[in-house]
Amino acid sequence: MQKQQRQQQQQQQQPEESNHAPVSRRQSAYQQEQQPKQEWMPLPDSPGGYPPGLRYLMQVDQLIIKQQKEVMEILIGLDLPNQYVVLNTMGQPIYFANEKSSSVARNCCGAARPFELNITDSSGEEVIHVSRPYRCMCLHQGLSCLNCCKDLVTVEAPPGQLVGQVRQIHRRCEATYEILDSAGDKVLSIDGPNYCHCYCPGDDIPFSVRTHDGEEVGRVSRQWSNLMQEYFTDADNFGITFPIDLHLNVKATIIGACFLIDFMFFEKGGRMY
């Protein structure tokens, strides 16, 4: 009788235990679904006069640009269109940037390829457009002294409205650019490191943003990530700093300069440092 009672008690307990396990699994899955996701940066209020897409830049003096790589690109070894996310210092997304270029250009012209870069906000609307025509690459930019070799990007915000250009200039063995306004007048310059300078693993590579008199007012820095990413992909991270009161058109143009620097020096086939 005692054995029968124990068997009945065990049979009654087994369903209860089997019911508890699925519940705990469902709860953990539910908790994972409820984890907060990173919210987009809210659109600041504006007194007017600025395109909505540029108003995000009103309250920032630092940006982080991260290139995103597809697993398929790493596995097959072919270049796919570049994708970037632009973040503020709190890690909130501000923009997404998507390259538009042909497969032939990406895999034949490499880092020198022409491209159109569509920069969209949280609603998916294109707010900034960056375009780069084809330029030949003379000894990996080291002898780009001819006009046909000097790189140029045009920045529009919103698309169709020119706000500035970034033009490469020849200065011995240094990576140097001019930031131009919509009228073609120089407003700032970007001075990069010497082409012959070597950097060690773990070093950031700075490009200084300077005024007419040479004062440094900001930087575009290619930031070290990790060994795996550095040596097995060409996905790059950049940091941008500029004065918070800098004109929004100039801020947008500096963002365009960052993309040009990535393509010229850190994209596959154009890596210099």
* pLDDT tens-digit readout, 184-195: 999 999 998 876
Q: Nearest-CA neighbor of 96 among 211, 210, 253, 255? A: 255
Domain ranges across the chain: 52-266
Asked if omega into 114 is within 30° of 0 (cis), the reply is no
- Quick: pLDDT tens for 29-55: 333 333 335 788 888 876 667 788 898
102, 115 Cβ separation under 8 angstroms: no
Specify the CATH superfamily of domain 52-266: LURP1-related (2.40.160.200)
Torsion-angle region of 269 (φ positive above 0: left; ψ -120 to 50: alpha; else: beta): left
CA 105, 109, 115, 117: dihedral to nearest 10 degrees? Answer: 100
pLDDT confidence bin for 28, thresholds 50/70/90: very low
d(CA 129, CA 168): 19
CA distances from 184 to 128, 150, 174, 252 (A): 18, 16, 23, 15
Predicted TM-score of the model (pTM):
0.77
Q: What is the pLDDT of residue 71?
A: 63
d(CA 67, CA 86): 9
d(CA 164, CA 184): 7
